[in-house]
Structure 1
Amino acid sequence: MKLFALGFAALLATGSVFAADTAPATHVIHDKTGFFVHLDVAKLLSSTDTYGQCGVVPAQLRYLDHQDREHVLDYQVQGTGCANDN
């Protein structure tokens, strides 16, 4: 029984050691919208496709800055899919 308890304790200790080696979660910076927002864009990760949507719709821009930090910018944009637009 002592051998079983010792083996179980060793298993728990090994699991916690491997769990500590995982990479830390990246911190995403949420930029604030406003009249003017300075964007330091080094690489575009993704942007919302508003094709086929009508009216003002929410959009999102995900990018990396020059220090490889990930940013998210939420904003409103006019959709391009309205049938009565020229």
Structure 2
Amino acid sequence: MKRFVAGLAALLVTASVFAAEPASDTRVIHDKTGFFVHLDIARQLSSSDTYGQCGIVPAQLRYLDNQNREHVLDYKVQAIGCPSEN
């Protein structure tokens, strides 16, 4: 009887742990920036609009790869909205 109760308790604990974790497909992967970064972009979801900003500003690219996983890439970009630029 004790083995049955211990087995049932272990089963309930294991089931609650798996239920609490989100599915691996719903996790967002944060990519590292740097030189020669290979991006597997199947579809672009969104990107930052830097119009009207001046100087080097942070930007973000959200995309899906070929395995339909969502990625986020944070990087810096030279904005083109400075009034003093030609």
TM over 0.5: yes
1:85, 1:35 → 2: CA distance? 27
- Cα deviation, 1:25-77, whole Å, max 9, x if unaligned, reads 71100000001211100000000000000000000000000000000000000
- Counterparts of 1:1-86 in structure 2, within 5 Å, are 24=23, 26-86=26-86
List structure 1 runs of 4+ shifted beyond 4 angstroms: none
**Percent of paired sites with the same residue:** 74
Residue type at the aligned position of 2:60: Q
Instruction: State the Cα RMSD in Å.
Output: 1.5
Flag structure 1 segments of 5+ consecutive residues without an equivalent.
1-19
TM-score, structure 2 as length reference = 0.70
1:51, 1:36 → 2: CA distance? 26
Over alpha carbons, which structure has the higher Rg?
1
Flag structure 2 segments of 5+ consecutive residues without an equivalent.
1-18
